[in-house]
Amino acid sequence: MFQLDLRSRRSIYEQVVDNIKELIIAGVLPVEERLPSVRDLSKTLTVNPNTVQKAYRELEYQGFVYTVQGLGTFVAAREDVKMDERRLGEIKDGFRVLLRELGYLGMTKEQIQQVFHDLLSERSEHND
């Protein structure tokens, strides 16, 4: 499914969340797809089941998945995903870091805007 970077500054649970979100966003895990059980994924990744459970809870809080008692955890429909203020703040912080890095690398405001415009165009092409 995916691999974890044990040397990363990001916690294991955050890496699990990010990896599953990426699989959902990329369409590798389609809507209504059943995720591996907490036990199965924890064995596959060789992490504590509590770590996987925490990741699944966060994904459910964000609306990416939902859980049905006794049946498992499933990928939610896109309209169920919520954008809360906390998550929006995290995304903005990520943009700020990337913008500073691009500036440090010598890109002008106009070049950065062009990169952003190009990426938005790519996104539009994939959503049509």
pLDDT at 49: 96
Q: Give pLDDT tens digits for 60-91.
A: 988 899 999 999 999 998 776 666 777 788 88
Q: Give pLDDT tens digits for 15-73.
A: 999 999 999 988 899 999 999 999 999 999 999 999 999 999 999 988 899 999 999 99
Give the C-alpha separation, 2 to 74, whole Å: 18
pLDDT at 40: 95
**Res. 122: pLDDT tops 80:** yes
Any alpha helices (H) in 5-75, and if so which ranges? Answer: 12-25, 38-45, 49-62
pLDDT at 80: 60
Domain boundaries, the chain: 12-80, 85-127
Give the C-alpha separation, 110 to 96, whole Å: 16
Q: Which residue has the higher pLDDT, 126 or 73?
A: 73
Residue 63: DSSP 8-state: T
Architecture (CATH level 2) of domain 12-80: Orthogonal Bundle (1.10)
**Res. 99: pLDDT tops 60:** yes
Token pair recorded at residue 15: 């890496």
pLDDT-derived band at 3, boundaries 50, 70, 90: confident
